[in-house]
Every structure is written in structure tokens, then in C-alpha cells.
Structure 1
């Protein structure tokens, strides 16, 4: 533990106190498994116990999230909280194996951790739980288990439905990021335990962990509908199980934002929501900016629910959201113009519904247009301008000019707007369709078209039409038979300026975001029977302000190598092969090779993702992901080389994986996987 004379530097603010940090401690589970933790304590906590804030994830406190943890948990400790970062079973230096996401054992361990925290001499028995992504999920899952000491939750970039809004499936379609994330998890879990913490047994424990590692992408691909596997851990199955107050946070550039308005609309407990312009990054570091004072907002929440202080959080609007202004369609965005608004209720009667009708002549208008049945069979590479499924603050990740894809879609467009129009919430499309195949996708994109013709995607959705009645029980289409379907596009907040146009594009493919259908599909759309519903925010709705970002002490980090990110899309005009490549060197998000100065640990992660397809053949789709992840110190160097690949035929998916682990450049372990999984109307 750092002595008081070596306490972390104070942050400017009204109430910061000196903080001590315990680099590592063990928390023993009822079955004897030990979980590793890192603890920040405010001065005086042993004499006068304080509430505690828990973050519980598998991303390695010592060398994974260290750079992010210090400024956040240090801030909480400076403001009178014991902050504790716990690595889940089988991750970091914690004992055991990580067998999958969100298992019952993961929740059981969290309950034991919370009980342990509440019993410590520095804790007054009150615990808050916070998380982003995985820990945002399990914060809600644990809240639904109702541990006595858990008094409040802050969940960020999370979902309440593990099937519809996670990295595996979207709208009943298979996300190609299922393979990406599965490959990333293999690389993450291939990192060794730190001998400085666990001693000489580190190597044996590392090799044992490698031997028990599952083939993650195949675990998830085995469940292609919303079955009991996904329903477990999806708090939407019983919102009433959550009994403590919840602050829910999301970002328009992130992929989990649909859950924010859905959660606060359904919880019976006190709740508030915030949606900003950010990708998958805590909002005090949010990109695209502007970042906000998330840590101040969090402390207000904790002070109210854990200390009993009236901080005014329940006087805040039910939902605070950033309404973005129009921007040029560029792949890299560091700042988004716009304004913050607050809605006192959600759902809100301040939003006025507006209906736009599709017309057979390609118009999108307030009045019904000409009748017409229009057909579309998109090229398999449609979607190259779509950007990444999840924004993470990286170069080139945003959707680019939609004109690249509009040529492969049906397009419906408004006249030039004579006044600005702000949309906030869920845009819903009501369509009458028929298909020539039993399995078909419908892809919708709503764009802001500038006077010069450039088109910026505002929101979109992909949808497997066999799931038109439910995700639990998909049903094949009857070729040629018309049906009605309602499809919700992702929630959005956007202001279309006067002089711009709105454009709806309808397509049958979206590569490389989703895996294609078994056969080429032609959709027929009955325009006169189709419409778009928009939630319109009044232009005179008041603007609110948010606090600027603050941080606790920064983590001492030295960048010892540059990071680069490249994204390219190419066409071979001889063979017709369409290739999409993402390549990151130094860090998987382009952050470079880093050394955590306090521990001397160096981290490097290189990744290459290559997806190929021919425009006329969905069965030509191929995906290969290769990675190298390295970490260590002088005299102790480890790395893992990971390769995963996927292809399909008309009836099955075929997955392969290989992992080779090295110690000081000598191979010490190898794993290989080969899986064939039947397609389930996918």
C-alpha cells in the first residue's frame, strides 16, 4: 500500500481528500477461489467507514484497464468512497477459469464480493456498483439478484437484452463482430498471470488456463435465436427484479444505446438516463466530443443514494440527450456539434410523431405518394460505407458517404426541407414486403443529404425477416407472399437543417457488418403500404448545460511505440473480389505500445481483419482475423498468436481457430479448434 506521505495528488475541487492505493488484495469466494482486487481508500476510512464503489470485469486490473481505472476510481476515493476494481474468476491474477460471458457463477461471485466489501472495516455497509460494457451488463444482472448491501447502480454502454443488443446478433442477423469479439477474447485470455503477484506458480496456472479456454465464437454461434441462453442475464425478462436506483448512460456512436431509453421506461425504481455523442468510452473521456463531467454526475448519484445527501439528482430530467447537428460524412470524428436537451418524462409527450409516406416514384413525403411495387437485390458488398458496428474513438470507424451504398438500394427522399427538423428517439419503419427466398434480410438506413449531395447516415437497422414475429421462434418466409413488418431503427438524436433532405435506403445486404443470407435475395416493397414514423423534438425546446470533464490522478504511462490504424476497401476488377481490411499495429485501437511505469509491464496488440466476398455470391463470404498480443517486462516476455476464420455453405457455418503461446519466444502451448454449426434461418 502507498503510505500517506506518498498519497496520490489531489484533484481540484471542493472536497478532495488524500488517497492510498492497495495494488493487490485477495477476496476469497465460498468455494475457495480467490479473486484479485485493487483498492483506493480515502484518508480516514479505517476510522470512519465510507460507502464503496465496485467495478467487476475480466479485463485485468493490473495491466488491462489500469490507464482508465486510476483517474476514475481515484476520483471516487478523493470524494469519500472506497473504490475497488475486481477481476472476475479466470481473468487477470484471479483463480479459476473464464468459461463464458455472464454465467450464474459470475453473478454468484459478485454477490460474495459485495458481501465481503460490506463487511470490511473501511466500509459502512453500503455499496454501489458501476460498469461499462461487460460490467455495465453485470451491474444490472447483479442488481436483479438484490444483494442487501447494493444500494445504487451506474451502468454505461450496456444492454438489457443480450440477444438483440450485443456484439453477437442484431435484428436477428449474425454480426461479423461475433467472430471479432471471440478472437479478441482468445487473445485477452491468453495473457499470463503476473509472477509479481502470484509468484512461481504463474506459469503452471497460465498453461492450465490456456488448456481450459473455450472457443468463444462457436459458443455464441450455437445459439442463433433468442433462447434460454440469451434470456439468462437479459434483465428485460423481469425489470421488476431490479430494486435499487439506476443511472443509465449511452452514446450515439456506441452500439448499446437502444437500451438506455428502454431501461428507464421500464424500471419501477428511481432512474435517470444520459445519452451523449460518444463511442464506447466513459463520457469524461468521450469521443466524439464533447466529453462531459461524468465523474461529477456519478458522485452526485452516489452521494444521493449512498450518503443520503440531497444533490438534486432526482430533479434532473428523466433523460438528458445530445441532439447532433449535421456533419460531413467522414470516417474519423473527434467532435460533434449539437446541443443538450432534457426531457422530464420518458416516454415523452414533448415529442410529436410525424409520418412520412413512401411513394412508388421514390418520394418520402407527408402525403401518400404514387402506388408502386419496387424490387431490390443488393450487391453482396453493399455496406462498405457503414463503418464499425461499435465506435471506440478510433480513426476511420464512422460511416462514410452513403452514396457509395445508395446505388445498391431502393432510395426514398424528401423534398428539400424548408425548416430544420430534430429527431430524438426511435424511428420506426412500417413496410409491406415480399421475398423470393425463405431467408431474407432487410437493411434500412436514414441519411441526412446535404445540398452538395453528400449523405451522412443518421441511423440504421438490419433485420432478419424470418424473425418478423419473434426472435424466439423464427419462421421461414413464403416466397412471393406479401407481409407487413415494423422495424425500429437504432435510437438517434439528430437535427436535419433547412436546405437538406432526408433519405431512406432499403437494401438486402450489409457487408461487412453482418453475415449474408444463404442465397441472393430480391425484396419487393409495396411503397403505398409503407411509411416511416419519426419522433420530432420541437425546435424551441430549451437547451441545457452539462459540466465539463474532470479526472482523478492520471496513471503513469510511457508510450514506447507508435500505434496505427488503417481501414481499406478494395475491388479486384478482374476477379470481382471485394476486400475489406482493418489493420491495427501497436494497440488494437491504435493506442500504441504502452508501458505502465509503476509495474514496468509493457503491452502490445496487433490485429488484422480481412473480409472478402463476391457481389453475386453470398456463399463466397470469408472472414480471417489474426492477432498478436504481447506483454511482459525485462526477463519475462510472453505473447500469443491467434488466428480465427469463418466461412459458410447453404446449410452450415464453418469456424476454425488456432492459438500459440510463447514465453521468451519459445512456444509453450498450442490450441486448435474446428467447429461446424448448422444455420438456423440465419
Structure 2
């Protein structure tokens, strides 16, 4: 097996905003305006964490500290090597703040052992540590040792750094006043590597980033990626067969791969690593940011906001735009996800009018709850405009229920007719018709779904052409009644906006497509059937027995326009976004054998239904 080492800048760019590594329009030079200092900050257990401090050269005033803790490297290393951009955005950079980057323990130039999603310890004793204590002690050191700081600290980050920002809310330092977790992981069993217990096979290559440990500080990458010899992701995983056959690419020295295999259900290993259950009595101001088409982290941002809102009395807001993972920090003029164009300067306006305003109010301004920002700032991805709300989900909604009826229709009355299809693990439904090898999936979140609608193993239900606009907000509940000839199955529900025949192409439209009759995926989710009653205790289906399967699809804010149709698709494979379910119950799918994978016939009953909240503007 050939192993490949990728340049660090390439790997980090897969997780972080591209603008971090690009010059601003005015070719602003960080080195001309900031001094750089590299220090080692000692934690309570003696471990030293490598920390880089950028301080404004203008020392005539005091500045707040903005801290980002990251597993993706605080480089470039060396006192004369500068990042081309620092801070959350160029506006905060140019106006002056003290920006700090820290390698978390066990990563890059920091000492210690890395623990992927390190468990939080609520009542630490002695030298016990977690990411909360590391953050607290880092902030304390910075306040005492960084010149010209004003005594106020903020944390921020995107993706994994967003998780560390979220972590900073636990046992928060009194000086921590503003926290913006952006696309932060909330629970590894529902974000990134799993969705409702289904393993996200499309993230398999990223296992290399998190699974290989190091014993000493390193300024170069120590992890390696397998070379797969093809750009056809679908065929690669289909040819490899059961997950156990992938062991030849990741051996036992990949700690995370071993953990994934050994903990196939929601056991204490995963539970202890979740942060959401600990988000209570939060004190700092919080602005959670996410993308409505973020393929990696939708669960974490929404659930973090909702739990803080329910269990704390702090300033807590949410911003969700028409973005994929990290788009809000990029410099793109035209904002599009795949083939769907949403508008110009959406990210730039957010950076200037929302993000900068949040940090300035709490770190340089009065810090009151009256920030001038809305409680919820959520983009309508159908009307293509921002909405400001006093709460999220907003007031003024009514419930709407559609049943999965006969003749491919969504009806208001349950049908007595049932729909069946054959699910064959040897011919799974693709999640995208693009032929490529992706590191982590992104574009599929708005992809055209005509290719799947035309397959016999995908059930389709849709409304007539809408005679007026219909705005759907908040979470979507799918209540399926199903049966299978097997003893296990996955259930995937997709919510789709079917465009009219005369919809116009844009410059983003792929060459082989037309936007006329485009089937835009608005939201989708999977439920691994064995977890339908409990994520802790998987159980088989009884062949032929009608069974309830409930699926929560993460929040949307989407207006289905007059002339469009709302469509629901139901299927049982989604490959290789998720791994293949053998459709024969085995205790651990990571250990399933070739003979366990069986073709089965699935039934969806006519009293299955989808529940939406329809927004009616006040």
C-alpha cells in the first residue's frame, strides 16, 4: 500500500476558510501592523502549549484578546513568519485586536497526548485536565503576560476550532466575554462522522488527520493519507466491500479508526465526548454561526443554540446563512452552493455588519444585551434574502402535515396504499452523480436530485404546482411506518424544491445540467434503522412487521415559491455518503462480512407523514 503525505496548507484548507490564506483586496500586510510572539504556556499538569500572539504595533491604546485554539496548526512557525490574515475577518484585523492562536495539546508544536473530542470533566480534581481547563489557564496567562490588553477576551473558530470555542463556555474564565462557535461539533455521533448512528463513509479519508498520534512537538505533518489509485469514490468503496476490508489502509496505529470500529453504538465513549448536554448556566455572550448547507456540522450549531437558550440566561444569538462549511469567512463575491446561486457579497456583509459588531460590542463596547443585532439572523434560501427574528424557530407558524400518498403524491389524508422497492447493496443509490474523490462532502447539499428520482429504489412524493409561496421554517419531522423483508435497514428522507420548467441557468450551472425542473435538495437526513428506538441499544427489525421510524431533519428557512413543487424522496442507500447497511442485523456493522449483505424489499406505508412548520409573517 502506498501512503501519501499532503502539504499542510492543502489539508488545513479542507477544514478552514480559504480567506485565511489569501491576501485581502488592499494587500494588507500583517507584519507591517502587528508584532508576533511565540510562547509556551504551561498547564496545571506541566504540559506546555505552543501559542502565537499577534499584537498591534500601535501601543497607544488597549485591545481585547481574541483567541483561537486549533488542532490544525497555529503556523507559520518562527518569529519572522506571519499569517497573511489574522482574526475572524479583515475588519477586526485592520481596526486592531490582540489575536492569539494556540495548538491544542498533542497537536503540532504543543506537548501532550491528543484526544479526539476530549471528554469534559465537570468537577476536576488536582491535575485533571480537559479543554476547558486548558482554555481557562491560557486566558489567565494571556491576561497577565500580554501587554496592552483591556482585560476582555473573546474566542472563535470554525469547524474543530469552533468546537474548542464552544468548549470555552464550560467553566469559563471571568474575562471571557464573547464567544462565537462557528460550525462547531456538538456530538461526534450526530456530526461529521455519524448521522443518527450511520457512519459517514465520505469522511473516511479524514480519519488520517485525527487518528495518528505523535509523541513530541512537530512543525511538520506526521499523519499520512492512503493513496487510493482512483478518482471514482463510489466505485472505490463498492469494490472494497465491507468496512472491515478498509483495515488494510488504517492499521491499529490509527487510534480514531480503532475507536470508530469498537464503538459502533452510542455508548459512554461517545456520550462523554459530547458538549451539548453540558451547555447550561452559560455566562459569556454567544453568537453561534453556521451554514444552512453545511454538510459537516448542522447538528452541533443548532443544538448548541437551542440548549443554551433553554438552560441559560445569557446573551445568545444565532446566524445561519446560505453557506457550506466555513463559507462565511471566505472572500467570494458570488455566493453559491453547487449549482444554486444565492447572491453577492453575502459573506462580506456578514463579516462587516454582524460578526465585527458582535465582538466590538462585547469586547470594546458596553457589553449589554442590547447589541443592536437580532436574536436570530437566518437566510431564506428560497426567497434568497435575510430574515431577522426575535426567536428561533420564529413565532407565527402553523403545523402542516403531508402523508406519503399513492401515485407519487403528498396528500393531506393518509393513504391505504403502500409503496415498495427493492434495496440492493450491490447497486446502492449514489448521493451525487458527480464522479470524483472528495475529502469531505460539500456540494451535494443542494445537488440536483433528478438522477435519484428516476431510480426504482427511490420513492417520490410531491405536491401539485404551488399556487402561492409557502415558507417552511425550523426542524422537519418525518414519521415513517415501514417494513422490510430483512432485519435491518437505513431510511433516508430528502426534502426537495422542484423548480419550474422555465427556471434560468446561472454561471454556476454545471455544463451537463439545466435549471429548468431542477430538483434542489433543501434538507436530508438518515436514520440507521437499528437505532430507531435507542441509540444506545440497537435492535433488529422483525421481517414483514410494520414498524415506526422517526427522523428529525435539521432546521430550514426556505420559501417554496409559487410555480415550484415540494417533493419528498425516501430511499435506503445513500452511497458512499454513508456506509452500506447489510440489511441483515449484525451486532457491529464495522465487523460485518460479505455474506451479511443481502438484497431486501422495503415497504413504506401510506400513513407515513412529514410535518413542517409553515411561517406566516406577522
TM-score, normalising length: structure 1: 0.66
Does residue 51 (structure 1) correspond to residue 64 (structure 2)? The answer is: yes
Tell me the CA shift for residue 73 of structure 1: 6.8
Tell me the CA shift for residue 321 of structure 1: 0.9
1:292 & 1:148 partners in 2: Cα distance? 31
Kindly provide the CA deviation profile for residues 376-409 of structure 1, in whole angstroms up to 9, marking residues without a partner as x.
Answer: 2234420342779999999965553312112121
Q: Which moved more, 1:270-279 or 1:346-355?
A: 346-355
Match for 2:468 among 411, 416, 419? 419
Does residue 293 (structure 1) correspond to residue 349 (structure 2)? The answer is: yes
What is residue 52 of structure 2 aligned with on the other side?
Answer: 38
CA contact (8 A) 1:176 1:514 kept: yes
What is residue 262 of structure 2 aligned with on the other side?
Answer: 222
* Structure 1 residues without counterparts, runs of 5 or longer: 1-8, 196-201, 204-210, 326-336, 542-682
Kindly provide the CA deviation profile for residues 575-629 of structure 1, in whole angstroms up to 9, marking residues without a partner as x.
Answer: xxxxxxxxxxxxxxxxxxxxxxxxxxxxxxxxxxxxxxxxxxxxxxxxxxxxxxx
The alpha-carbon distance between structure 1 residues 471 and 454, as it changes in their structure 2 partners (threshold 3 A), is same
What is residue 495 of structure 2 aligned with on the other side?
Answer: 446
What is residue 207 of structure 2 aligned with on the other side?
Answer: 182
The alpha-carbon distance between structure 1 residues 275 and 214, as it changes in their structure 2 partners (threshold 3 A), is same
1:281 & 1:61 partners in 2: Cα distance? 18
Kindly provide the CA deviation profile for residues 127-164 of structure 1, in whole angstroms up to 9, marking residues without a partner as x.
Answer: 21111111211222231122333222101011333311
CA contact (8 A) 1:377 1:508 kept: no
What is residue 463 of structure 1 aligned with on the other side?
Answer: 527
The alpha-carbon distance between structure 1 residues 219 and 212, as it changes in their structure 2 partners (threshold 3 A), is closer
What is residue 19 of structure 1 aligned with on the other side?
Answer: 33
1:299 & 1:162 partners in 2: Cα distance? 30
1:42 & 1:354 partners in 2: Cα distance? 54
Match for 2:186 among 136, 157, 160? 160
The alpha-carbon distance between structure 1 residues 136 and 284, as it changes in their structure 2 partners (threshold 3 A), is closer
1:56 & 1:358 partners in 2: Cα distance? 47
What is residue 300 of structure 2 aligned with on the other side?
Answer: 259
Tell me the CA shift for residue 305 of structure 1: 2.3
1:376 & 1:474 partners in 2: Cα distance? 24
Q: Greater relative contact order: 1 or 2 (C-alpha under 8 angstroms, separation 6 or more)? A: 2
Tell me the CA shift for residue 532 of structure 1: 1.3
1:363 & 1:283 partners in 2: Cα distance? 37
1:246 & 1:308 partners in 2: Cα distance? 15
Kindly provide the CA deviation profile for residues 548-599 of structure 1, in whole angstroms up to 9, marking residues without a partner as x.
Answer: xxxxxxxxxxxxxxxxxxxxxxxxxxxxxxxxxxxxxxxxxxxxxxxxxxxx
2:64 & 2:103 partners in 1: Cα distance? 20
What is residue 322 of structure 2 aligned with on the other side?
Answer: 277
Kindly provide the CA deviation profile for residues 435-472 of structure 1, in whole angstroms up to 9, marking residues without a partner as x.
Answer: 22222110111112233443221111111122112222
Tell me the CA shift for residue 371 of structure 1: 1.3
The alpha-carbon distance between structure 1 residues 505 and 351, as it changes in their structure 2 partners (threshold 3 A), is same
* Structure 2 residues without counterparts, runs of 5 or longer: 1-22, 121-128, 223-250, 337-342, 502-516, 584-598
What is residue 395 of structure 2 aligned with on the other side?
Answer: 349
Does residue 81 (structure 1) correspond to residue 97 (structure 2)? The answer is: yes
What is residue 613 of structure 2 aligned with on the other side?
Answer: 535
What is residue 235 of structure 2 aligned with on the other side?
Answer: none
Kindly provide the CA deviation profile for residues 245-299 of structure 1, in whole angstroms up to 9, marking residues without a partner as x.
Answer: 2100000221322333433333122111000111112514165363233443233
Q: Which moved more, 1:52-61 or 1:222-231?
A: 222-231
The alpha-carbon distance between structure 1 residues 532 and 103, as it changes in their structure 2 partners (threshold 3 A), is closer
The alpha-carbon distance between structure 1 residues 251 and 391, as it changes in their structure 2 partners (threshold 3 A), is farther
Does residue 98 (structure 1) correspond to residue 114 (structure 2)? The answer is: yes
CA contact (8 A) 2:206 2:440 kept: no
Tell me the CA shift for residue 176 of structure 1: 0.4
CA contact (8 A) 1:461 1:489 kept: yes
What is residue 499 of structure 1 aligned with on the other side?
Answer: 563
Looking at secondary structure, tell me which structure has more strand per residue: 1
CA contact (8 A) 1:376 1:508 kept: no
What is residue 600 of structure 1 aligned with on the other side?
Answer: none
The alpha-carbon distance between structure 1 residues 79 and 391, as it changes in their structure 2 partners (threshold 3 A), is farther
What is residue 284 of structure 2 aligned with on the other side?
Answer: 244
What is residue 372 of structure 1 aligned with on the other side?
Answer: 417
1:396 & 1:443 partners in 2: Cα distance? 18
The alpha-carbon distance between structure 1 residues 310 and 250, as it changes in their structure 2 partners (threshold 3 A), is same
What is residue 232 of structure 2 aligned with on the other side?
Answer: none
The alpha-carbon distance between structure 1 residues 228 and 138, as it changes in their structure 2 partners (threshold 3 A), is farther
CA contact (8 A) 1:413 1:501 kept: yes
What is residue 510 of structure 1 aligned with on the other side?
Answer: 574
Q: Which moved more, 1:168-177 or 1:178-187?
A: 178-187
1:11 & 1:399 partners in 2: Cα distance? 30
What is residue 405 of structure 1 aligned with on the other side?
Answer: 452
The alpha-carbon distance between structure 1 residues 52 and 149, as it changes in their structure 2 partners (threshold 3 A), is same
The alpha-carbon distance between structure 1 residues 473 and 244, as it changes in their structure 2 partners (threshold 3 A), is farther
What is residue 431 of structure 1 aligned with on the other side?
Answer: 480
CA contact (8 A) 1:403 1:455 kept: yes
The alpha-carbon distance between structure 1 residues 434 and 212, as it changes in their structure 2 partners (threshold 3 A), is closer
CA contact (8 A) 1:443 1:509 kept: yes
The alpha-carbon distance between structure 1 residues 32 and 74, as it changes in their structure 2 partners (threshold 3 A), is farther
Q: RMSD of aligned C-alpha atoms?
A: 3.6
2:216 & 2:410 partners in 1: Cα distance? 53
CA contact (8 A) 1:99 1:213 kept: no
Q: Which moved more, 1:127-136 or 1:55-64?
A: 55-64
Kindly provide the CA deviation profile for residues 410-451 of structure 1, in whole angstroms up to 9, marking residues without a partner as x.
Answer: 111111111122222222111211222222110111112233
